[in-house]
Amino acid sequence: MTDVGDQRAGRSLVYLTEVPVDRVKGIGTVRARKLNEDGIASVAHLLLHVPRRYLDRSQLFDLSSVPLGEEVTVGGVVRHVSRRRISRNRTMIEAVIGDGTSTLTAVWFNPYLKIGEGEEVVLSGKAELFRGRLQMKAPDVGRFGGEGSLVTGRVMPIYPKVGGMASQKLLASMDNALRRSRPITDIVPVEVLDRLNLIGRDEAFAGIHFPDDIGEVERARRRLIFDEFLRIQMAFRTRAYDEFESQIGVQNSVEGELYHRFLEALPYRLTSDQETVTARILDDMAKPRPMHRLLQGEVGSGKTVVVVLALLTSVESGHQGAVMAPTEVLATQHYLGTELALEDAGLAPPLIETGAANTASLFGAEPTTTRGVRIGLFTSSKVTTNFVSGDVSRSRGIEWLQDGTIDIAFGTQALIQSGVSFHSLGIAVVDEQHRFGVEQRVVLRDENTTGGVPDLLLMTATPIPRTLAMTVYGDLEVSTIKEMPPGRAGVTTETIPDAADHEIDERIRRTVAEGRQVFVVCPLVEDSDKIDARSATTEYARLRNALPGIRCELLHGQMRSDEKSAVMHRVRAGEVDVLVATTVIEVGIDVPNATLMIIRSADRFGLSQLHQLRGRVGRGEHGGACILAADPTTVEGQQRIDAMMATDDGFRLAEIDLEIRGQGTVFGGAQSGVADLRLGDILHDREILEAASLVAAEAVEADPNGPFVEAVMHEVACLFGESAQWLTRS
């Protein structure tokens, strides 16, 4: 695949990105400024603004058989024209047209319309009866025998509004831009087009904007969708090659003593999914190139155990591990869970009194198999470890990272702040990575490459459909855990009106009386004049008054870190019956004794949030229940509630969520979806997406710096500019 497609005399998309849109006839400086605000700065961007639907005006109806109330095209000779002024600025023009089978009266309120008796015309519009006569109001007009009309007698494109341009003005400008741009050269090799039965790019642009028939639209659409997907997939593939496949990584020896001791101490066997995923991760870690993998799985599917096994493998190989989470609550949960698991496996280090830990030299140089695995939790102001009693200063913790005293560090973005570095980072784990920008998630790895590029493992409990993963995480290998560990009783879901306080209070009383704990989640911290929804502070006050004798606590993101930590400690210790919170508990909360989740104003939450919250209960031997308290006022809100009631399959819910919310944006730092797609739909066009992915993979594997790859990447850089900097090649 060395030959780039047809590059004979013509204009490439890259060239057309360099032609300002104000060079198009009918678009002046003022209009161009408005188009720029809508993302259309060049002729290329204008041509990529494709129609949203079409009117088929290619079929002429006889006037005697015109269907009423439908968009139709008719033709005939103008038999009579009359004009009369009906106000200072309005002139009514009536024209009687005949075609030998019948007559029709066309009416316009337009003093500038020119139409004369004896002309042969084509009219497009809706026919209706007025006082027993066939009539059309304000139809579009074309002439027989002229240069051809853009609005009559053909398949007419209807564009989404852009730049404040009137539809016919935009149509004329698009026609001018296309005629002056053709022929448009093709960068895709001919053998690829033949293999996939795709038409050429020039034919595709002509067919999408001004097709001769409706069938031509689908052929053009399929080719341009392929181009959209190809740009995305090629960008991901080159990124994977440049930053991972071509780099020297940290090579680990796998399945050592720490790995086996930890595995043998588990009170259960790994599921087959956990075993498969672990094997793939360890295989990656043993290779000379760095790992770049996404681990996804349902809430409670056992991702954490897999991650700890990978971390221990790196530690036993003489390196360190790091786990970065988006919130202190989640980072703390990871730290506490790992601390307990190490103790159960007999891998915890001996505890040293704070006063004795003045220098790192006190810890000696014993291997981890004898001295234990030392872990640390880094927050904004302090460091907690499993080998020193009491907290130490952040500066002391950083010293222990730099000299290798700490084997595994847990924290938030505090781990990537200036001055933080590792002695020998072997693996970086980023949890709930969709909450970080692309740049943030790789800084942890890129700033610690002295012994080779560390492995990077991203993980999420938000299920991602395969097609979405391809368009958002196309530079990653993806592993999925779907099988749930045995012993989970599951969660039932029900919905009630949000005003049903008495019923909710009674459910809480019964649950607490059984010795279980309850989560109550609200969308707001404080009441709002603009949003009609429950707030956590108001609900907390209400429950304390309504449920005397029941221990209630409040948790939200505006509280100080030490306050949040103290609340969560009491919850885990069983000292709290009811925790009223915001979505700060959406991820990372593992309280096996919590069996009831109540979500107030549930229609205010996103579908993935609802699914995540539901997964926070029923994590132990007792069954859980999730109550969606909601009075949906929007179609989307009702759809989310209906979906939650219909299924607990996170991957199906993710697809429904995508259908409800629409596609996001690929070429942006947040990398949250695919709004860059003007034509493609990742759910309905998955066959084309997979074909583009395969073509990109083949091209990069054959020649990562070849002309085909470089041509596509040049288009990415020119079409998306600064928003694609994280994917463009330097």
DSSP per position, 268-289: SPPPHHHHHHHHHHHHHHHSSS
Share of the chain above pLDDT 90, in %: 46
pLDDT in tens, 253-302: 877 889 999 999 988 889 999 999 999 999 999 998 899 899 988 777 88
Confidence of residue 527 (pLDDT cuts 50, 70, 90): confident
> Could you give the angle at which helices 328-344 and 561-572 cross, rounded to 10 degrees?
40
pLDDT at 177: 93
Confidence of residue 675 (pLDDT cuts 50, 70, 90): very low
Confidence of residue 587 (pLDDT cuts 50, 70, 90): low
Confidence of residue 435 (pLDDT cuts 50, 70, 90): low
Report H helices in 214-288.
214-240, 257-265, 272-286
Are the folds of 257-286+302-460 and 498-630 the same?
yes
Provide the token pair at 724: 């694609």
Does the pLDDT value for residue 360 go beyond 50? no
pLDDT at 565: 81
pLDDT at 4: 45
Task: List the beta strands (DSSP E) in 464-516.
Answer: 477-481, 491-496
pLDDT in tens, 152-185: 667 878 888 888 887 778 888 999 999 999 999 9
Share of the chain above pLDDT 70, in %: 89
In terms of Cα–Cα distance, which of 316, 313, 616, 260 is closest to 457?
A: 313
Measured CA to CA in angstroms, residue 193 lies from 1, 12, 146 at distances of 12, 17, 37
Does domain 59-153 fall under CATH 3.40.50.20? My reply is no
DSSP per residue, 655-716: HHHHHHH----SSSTT----TT-SS--TTT-HHHHHHHHHHHHHHHHH-TTSHHHHHHHHHH
Instruction: Please state which architecture CATH assigns to domain 13-53+160-212.
Output: Orthogonal Bundle (1.10)
Does the bond joining 183 to the residue before it have cis omega, within 30 degrees of 0? yes
> Could you give the angle at which helices 686-702 and 707-720 cross, rounded to 10 degrees?
120
Does the pLDDT value for residue 488 go beyond 50? yes
pLDDT at 623: 85
Measure the CA–CA gap between 348 and 341, rounded to whole angstroms.
Answer: 9
Measure the CA–CA gap between 136 and 120, rounded to whole angstroms.
Answer: 17
Does the pLDDT value for residue 481 go beyond 80? yes
Measured CA to CA in angstroms, residue 588 lies from 550, 568, 593 at distances of 25, 11, 15
Coil vs helix vs strand at 719: helix
Coil vs helix vs strand at 56: strand
CB atoms within 10 A of CB 168: 11
Element containing residue 321 per DSSP (H, E) = strand 320-324
CATH topology of domain 257-286+302-460: Rossmann fold (3.40.50)
DSSP per residue, 298-320: -TTSSHHHHHHHHHHHHHHTT-E
Confidence of residue 724 (pLDDT cuts 50, 70, 90): low
DSSP per residue, 80-116: EEEEEEEETTEEEEEEEEE-SS-EEEEEEE-TT----
Q: What is the mean pLDDT of residues 56-85?
A: 87
**Domain boundaries of the chain, sorted by first residue:** 13-53+160-212, 59-153, 257-286+302-460, 498-630
Phi-psi region of 170 (alpha: psi -120 to 50; beta: other; left: phi over 0): alpha
pLDDT at 448: 61
Element containing residue 157 per DSSP (H, E) = strand 155-158
Provide the token pair at 581: 């919170």
Measure the CA–CA gap between 53 and 159, rounded to whole angstroms.
Answer: 7
- The β-bridge partners of 143 are 121
Confidence of residue 663 (pLDDT cuts 50, 70, 90): low
Q: What is the mean pLDDT of residues 537-561?
A: 92
Is the CA virtual torsion 237, 242, 243, 248 positive or negative?
positive
Does the pLDDT value for residue 320 go beyond 70? yes
Q: What is the mean pLDDT of residues 535-561?
A: 92
Measured CA to CA in angstroms, residue 238 lies from 475, 687, 726 at distances of 8, 22, 11
Q: Are 521 and 598 in contact (CB under 8 A)?
A: yes
Confidence of residue 359 (pLDDT cuts 50, 70, 90): very low
Does the pLDDT value for residue 559 go beyond 50? yes
pLDDT in tens, 636-648: 999 999 999 999 8
Please enumerate, as own/partner, the contacts of 283-288 that have beta carbons within 8 Å and a separation of 24 or more.
Answer: 283/254, 284/455, 284/477, 285/251, 285/252, 285/254, 285/310, 285/313, 285/314, 285/426, 285/427, 285/455, 286/251, 286/252, 286/253, 286/254, 287/249, 287/251, 288/248, 288/249, 288/251
Q: Are 472 and 671 in contact (CB under 8 A)?
A: yes
Measure the CA–CA gap between 671 and 435, rounded to whole angstroms.
Answer: 10
In terms of Cα–Cα distance, which of 202, 149, 158 is closest to 49?
A: 158
The sheet that has 375-378: what strands, in order across it?
392-393, 382-385, 375-378, 408-411, 320-324, 425-431, 455-460, 292-297, 477-481
Residue with tokens 């999408």: 208
**Polymer length of the chain:** 730
Coil vs helix vs strand at 462: coil
Of 1-5, 441-445, 498-502, the one with minimum mean pLDDT is 1-5
Measure the CA–CA gap between 68 and 107, rounded to whole angstroms.
Answer: 16
Domain 498-630, CATH among 3.30.565.10, 3.40.50.300, 3.30.750.24, 3.40.930.10: 3.40.50.300
Measure the CA–CA gap between 545 and 678, rounded to whole angstroms.
Answer: 53
pLDDT in tens, 227-261: 999 998 998 899 888 888 888 888 888 778 899 99
pLDDT at 673: 32
